[in-house]
Structure 1
Amino acid sequence: MRILLVTSVYPTPYGPHKGTFNAALVTGLHLAGDDVRVVAPIPWTDRLRRRAVGTTAEGVTHPLWWYPPKVGHHRHHRWMRRTVLPAARTITEEWQPDLVLGYWTHPDGTVALEVAREFGVPGVLLVGGSDILILTAKPARRAIIVETLLAADRVLAVGAPLRDSVVALGVPPERVDAFARGVDRQRFAPTDGLAARRRLGLPLDRPIALWVGRMVPVKGLDVLLAAWSLIHRGKAAPLLVLAGDGEQRGELAQMAARYGDSVQLVGSVSHAALRDWYAAADVVVLPSRSEGVPNVLIEGLACGTPFVASAVGAVPDLLEPNSRVVPPGDVPALAAALEDALQGPPLARRADSSHIPDRQEAVAAVRAILQRTLAARATGAAS
C-alpha cells in the first residue's frame, strides 16, 4: 500500500520526542512492505520557542503551520489546510497514495480527509484519546470533531473503551475498529535495574517512582505531588522522578522545590534512553485525568516495572498482579497505592507483560484494517 500520513504529532527537528509511537507505526508499515510518506506540520510556536536539535527523516515533510495562538481552536483546521495541502500536492506530483491516514481527529484528521477527497482515495482516522475524551467537552470543537469522524471511511481506536467513546459520538459501530497498541520488545525489555540506576546516577538504596510524559493539566501532576506529600518517609526516603517537559514545567519546579531531594525533575528523556529509566524504577505512576492506552505504562510493563495509575480509558485493561489503579483525582488513594508499591527492598517487585502484544502484531492489525478499507472502496466503485 501507498499511505500518506497527515499529523502534527510526529517527531520533528524541534520536538524529536513528539509522537514517537506514530514514527514507530510508520517504521512497522515500511518493514511490512508499505510505502509511507508523512506530512507533519510544525507549529510556528515550536520554531519560535525551541532550538532545532533533531533531523528530518526520509519521506517526511515538515511544512510550517501558522495559526492564531490560544483562540479559535475549532477553526485551526483552516490554518493547517493552508500548509498541508500544498505540501501534499508537491508529494503527489510523482507519487500517488492509495489511502490517506490522519492521526488526531482535529485539526489534523479534518485536514487529512480533505487531502483524501482531493486525491479521490479513502480517508482513515486514527484517534488519539484526548481528542475524543477531552476536546469534545467544548461545543464548537465537538461539532467539528463529530463532523470529521462521520466523514471518515474508517476510524481506528486504540482499545475498546476509546472505540466505545467514538461510537457514543454517533459514528456507526461498523465503521470503527479497535486494536491493541503493541510494544517494541527489542527496545523495551527487562534489564538490570541497579546497573540502570548507576548509569543514570540514581540512588541504589531508595525506592523510586517514575512519571514520564507531557507536563500539562490533564496528566494530573498536581494530584501526584499532593499524594507524594502524604507518603511516609522512612529510613530510605522514596524518590519521585518526573521525566518530561511542557507548559507546567516552571510551576511544577516551584512546587517540587518544597519537597527537597525527594522529587527530581530530569527534563525530556529520549525514547532510546527510556528503557534505563523504566528499569531503574520500582513503579511507574500515571495520575492522569484522561488517557486512551498510555504508551508509558505499556513500555514500563515491557521493562518489568509495575504501575500505579488512574482508572481511566483502557488503563484497567493493562493491569497485572503487581500493578494498581485508583480513581482519578483521589489523592489519598493514590498515596496509599504508591506507598504500598514502594514497600520493601528497591526493585523487589517486577511486572508481567505477557498480555501486551508485540509492536508488529499491532502493525499487522492496522494493515489489515487499511486493506479492508481499500477493498471496500474498490468494491463500491465497481458496483
Structure 2
Amino acid sequence: MSELLAGRRVLLVSINYAPEHTGIAPYSTRIAEHLRMCGADVDVLAGMPHYPGWRVHDDYRGRWRMVEDRGGVRVHRRRGYVPSRQTALRRAAYEVSFLAHGSLRPPAGRPDLVLSQMPALAGGVIGGRSARHHGVPHVVVVQDLMGAAAAQSGIRGGGRVASLAAGVEARILNSATLVGVVHESFVDHVTAAGVPGSRVRVVPNWTHATPPSGDRRAVRARLGWREEERVVLHSGNMGLKQGLEVLLDTARLSGRDTPRIRVVLMGDGNRRAHLARLAEELPNVDLLPPATDAEFSDVLAAADVLAVTQRSSVLDMSLPSKLTSYFTSGRPVVASVATAGGTAEEVRRSGAGIVVSPEDPEALYGAIRALSRDPARSAALGARGPAYVRERLSPQAGLGRISAMLSEALHG
C-alpha cells in the first residue's frame, strides 16, 4: 500500500509534533517521516512545541510563525495561546487561537490528502476545511475523544462544554472520508456520533521506545535507587485525568514497609507543582524531570513496577500512550484505572500487568506489595510485554495500518 502514496502531497495537521517527545507528537512525527520515506511530499501544520509542560519550549519563544525542515518534512509552526493551567475556558482559548492562526496562514499549495490528528478539535476543523476547499479526502485519526474528555477528565467547567465539544467533534468525524481510532473501545463512540461503521478503521498506536540496553544496576545507582528498594515508576504527563494523587497516598501507606517502596513520578505537566507540594512530607516519593529519548527505556527497565493511573471518571476518552513504552521495557504494569475502560482492556489483553480499582490506594498498594513478594510472577508479567509488542505494537505494523488507510482514502 505504501507505494500508492509515492508522488502524492499530504498535509498533516497536528498541534503536537517533534521535538515534543511524549503524548501524540511521536506518532505524528513518525507518520510524517514514514510518508516521506514512501515518496510522498509532506507538509505539517503544527503549534509551537509546548507539551507536556504546557509552556513553549525555549528555542521557540517569541516566534509567531515559522517553517522548519525536520527529517525531510516541512513543518509550518503557528503560535497559539498555551495555558499553564487547564480549565474548559482556557482549553477553548487554546483551540480557538490555533484555529484562527492556522486558518489564516495555512501551508500553500494543493494537497492530495489531508490527515488530521485529534484530540485537537482545531486541527480537525482546519483539516476538514482544507480538504473541502481542495476537493480531496480527509482522514482523521482519533487519539483521544474530546467530548468524552471534557466530561470525564475533571477539568474545571468541562461538564458544561462537553456537549458542545462532542457536537464539533461529531461534525468533524462525519465529514471525514475515513476515521481511524487507536483502540476498539472508541468505535462505539464514533459510530454513536453518526459515522457509519464502514468508514471506521482501528489503527492502534505502536511503541516508539527502543528496548532497554543499559546496565540496570548502573542506571539505578545513577538515579539513587537502592537495590533493596522496590521502585514504582509513573512516567508521562502529570495532568488532571491521571489522578496521580493515588500514588502519593500509596506511598504514604507503604512508608514503614521493608523492603522500602519508593514512588517515582517522572515527567511534566500542569499538576506537577501541585503534586510536588503534596509530596514534600513523603520521604519515599521522588519527582524527576522527563528522561531523554536516549535514556528513557533504560529508566523504565530500572524500575520494579510501572504504574498507569486514571481518575475513576475516565472510561473511554483516551488510551495512555505510555503503555506501548511500558510494555517494551519488560517490567510489570499495575493499572489503577476504570475496570471497564479501554486502558484496562489493553492491559488485560497484553497479559503484562494487573488492573485494580481507580483512586483506591489500598488496592494499588496491595497489588504492588504482592508483586514485590512474588518475583516469579513479576518476571512473568514483565516478559509478556515485549512479546505483546512484537505481536501487535511494532512500528512496522502500526505504520502499515496508517499507510493502508490513507491509500484506501486516496484510491478506494
What's the TM-score bracket when you normalise by the shorter of the two chains? 0.7 to 0.9
- Aligned pair partner of 2:297 in 256, 266, 275: 275
What is aligned with 1:381? none
Q: Which of 38, 42, 50 matches 1:36?
A: 42
Q: How many residues align?
A: 368
Residue 81 in 1 paired to residue 81 in 2?
A: no
* TM-score, normalisation: structure 1: 0.85
1:366 is aligned, of 396, 402, 406, to 402
Q: What's 1:23 paired with?
A: 29
The CA deviation string for residues 43-101 of structure 1, in whole angstroms up to 9 with x for no partner, is 899999444258862521111124899527557655323321344343x2xxx421111
Distance 1:67 1:232, change over 3 A: closer
1:161–1:314 Cα contact (<8 Å) kept:
no
Ranges in structure 2 where 5+ consecutive residues have no aligned partner? 61-67, 152-158
Deviations for 1:162-198, whole angstroms, at most 9, x for unmatched residues?
Answer: 223222332211111112222246x234654223323
1:323, CA displacement in angstroms?
Answer: 1.1
68-77 or 275-284: bigger deviation? 68-77
* Runs (4+) off by over 6 Å: 43-48, 345-348
Q: Structure 1 residues 346, 29: closer, same or farther in 2, change over 3 A?
A: farther
> Structure 1's 29 and 191: CA in aligned 2 closer, same or farther, altered over 3 A?
farther
CA 1:273–1:118: 2 relative to 1, 3 Å = farther
Structure 1 residue 119 corresponds to structure 2 residue 134: yes
Percent of aligned pairs with the same amino acid: 26
Runs (5+) with no aligned partner, structure 1: 377-383
2:271 equivalent in structure 1: 248
| 1:62 correspondence with 2:77 | yes
Q: Is the contact made by 2:233 and 2:263 (CA closer than 8 Å) also made in structure 1?
A: yes
**Distance in 1 (alpha carbons) for counterparts of 2:179 and 2:282:** 44
Considering only aligned residues, what root-mean-square deviation do their CA atoms show, in Å?
3.0
Deviation at 1:345, TM superposition (A): 6.3
Q: Select which of 113, 119, 122 maps to 1:99.
A: 113
Q: Are positions 1:339 and 2:369 aligned together? A: yes
Sort the Cα spacing of 1:130 and 1:241 in 2 relative to 1 into closer, same or farther, 3 A: farther
Q: How does 1:205-354 map to 2 (within 5 A)?
A: 205-231=228-254, 233-260=256-283, 262-289=284-311, 290=314, 292-309=318-335, 310=337, 311=339, 312-319=341-348, 320-343=350-373, 349=379, 350-352=382-384, 353-354=386-387
> Equivalent residue for 2:154?
none
- Which has the higher mean CA deviation after the structures are superposed, 360-369 or 127-136? 127-136
Separation in 2 of the partners of 1:347 and 1:233? 24
The alpha-carbon distance between structure 1 residues 56 and 277, as it changes in their structure 2 partners (threshold 3 A), is farther
